[in-house]
């Protein structure tokens, strides 16, 4: 094994270590409630929780929502960012997630706040990235708080909560960057959130180069334990 390979092994081991700790913390929350902007949300233990990962609150508060327009979040988790998009004035806000528990959690939150929203203003779908979004439906802004640890197991062998953190080979990142243009309105903007401290940044740069996109840093998102994230806009 050369030194580059052994560095990769160490990096992977470190990421797995971080991952196991945060996953157990998330599971140990059980069903829990948290408050954001005067709304009391419910979080499920098997769904990535903003209560633990406070960067999601910062993003929901500071995201450049297309007020009066349409917003799509991939990987919505408990639905916080989508619901906040609607509260902040998006006429339509849609969330997708690969995890059935995430969509059940998001729909339970929607039920809590339905009386404050227009009929059909917010929708949630189980979906593999864009698979549940009808061809031809377009949005003014699309966002994904990306699972940017590499991990080692194939996607279909992972538990759903693992998929909130890991994208082996950055296969999903590649798909997101390639498919997003088919779902953006003319003049619309695509975004994603990246956590450099737990990511493989060499492979990240390679995927960015190979998918021919340019990234603009829009926001630095403070996270717990100094694990800051970056909100990128895709050019
Ligand atoms: C880092 S979590 C973000 C959760 C939430 N948006 C937040 O910021 O609190 C990533 C989310 O992506 C979802 N996800 C993973 N793979 C996916 C896929 N192929 N299609 C849609 N969502 C996916 C996970 O289930 C998880 O909810």
pLDDT in tens, the chain (235 residues): 444 344 444 455 556 677 788 899 999 999 999 999 999 999 999 999 999 999 999 999 999 999 999 999 999 999 999 999 999 999 999 999 999 999 999 999 999 999 999 999 999 999 999 999 999 999 999 999 999 999 889 999 999 999 999 999 999 999 999 999 999 999 999 999 999 988 999 999 999 999 999 999 999 999 877 789 999 999 9
For ligand 1, atom 13, the nearest C-alpha belongs to 75
Q: Is the CB of 229 under 6 A from ligand 1?
A: no
Please give the distance, rounded to the nearest whole angstrom, from the Cα atom of residue 117 to the centre of ligand 1.
24
Ligand 1 centroid–CA 180 distance in Å is 16
Supply the residue whose CA is at minimum distance from atom 14 of ligand 1.
Answer: 75
Beta-carbon neighbour count of residue 177 at 10 Å? 20
CATH of the domain at 73: 3.40.50.150
Which class for 3: exposed (0-12), middle (13-18), buried (19 or more C-beta within 10 A)?
Answer: exposed
Q: Which domain holds residue 129?
A: 3-234
171: phi then psi, degrees, rounded to nearest 5: -65, -40
> Quick check: CB of 129 below 6 Å from ligand 1?
yes
Q: What are phi and psi of 39, to 5 degrees?
A: -115, 135
CA-nearest of 137, 45, 121 to 85 is 121
Specify the number of domains making up the chain. Answer: 1
Q: For position 19, what pLDDT does the model report?
A: 78
């Amino acid at each position: 094994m050369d030194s580059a390979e052994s560095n990769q092994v160490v990096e992977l081991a470190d990421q797995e270590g971080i991952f196991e700790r945060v996953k157990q913390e998330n599971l140990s929350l059980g069903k829990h409630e948290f408050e954001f902007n005067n709304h009391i949300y419910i979080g499920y233990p098997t769904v990535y929780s903003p209560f633990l990962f406070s960067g999601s609150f910062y993003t929901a508060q500071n995201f450049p929502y297309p007020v009066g327009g349409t917003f799509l979040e991939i990987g919505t988790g408990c639905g916080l960012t989508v619901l906040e998009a609607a509260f902040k004035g998006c006429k339509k806000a849609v969330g997708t997630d690969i995890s059935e528990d995430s969509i059940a959690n998001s729909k339970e939150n929607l039920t809590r706040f339905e009386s404050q929203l227009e009929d059909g203003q917010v929708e949630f779908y189980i979906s593999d990235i864009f698979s549940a979004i009808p061809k031809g439906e377009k949005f003014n802004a699309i966002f994904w708080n990306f699972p940017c640890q590499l991990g080692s197991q194939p996607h279909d062998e992972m538990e759903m909560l693992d998929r909130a953190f890991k994208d082996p080979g950055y296969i999903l990142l590649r798909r997101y960057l390639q498919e997003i243009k088919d779902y953006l309105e003319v003049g619309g903007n695509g975004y994603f959130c990246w956590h450099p401290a737990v990511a493989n940044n060499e492979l990240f740069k390679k995927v960015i180069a190979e998918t021919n996109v340019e990234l603009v840093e829009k926001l630095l998102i403070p996270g717990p334990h100094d694990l800051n994230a970056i909100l990128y806009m895709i050019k």
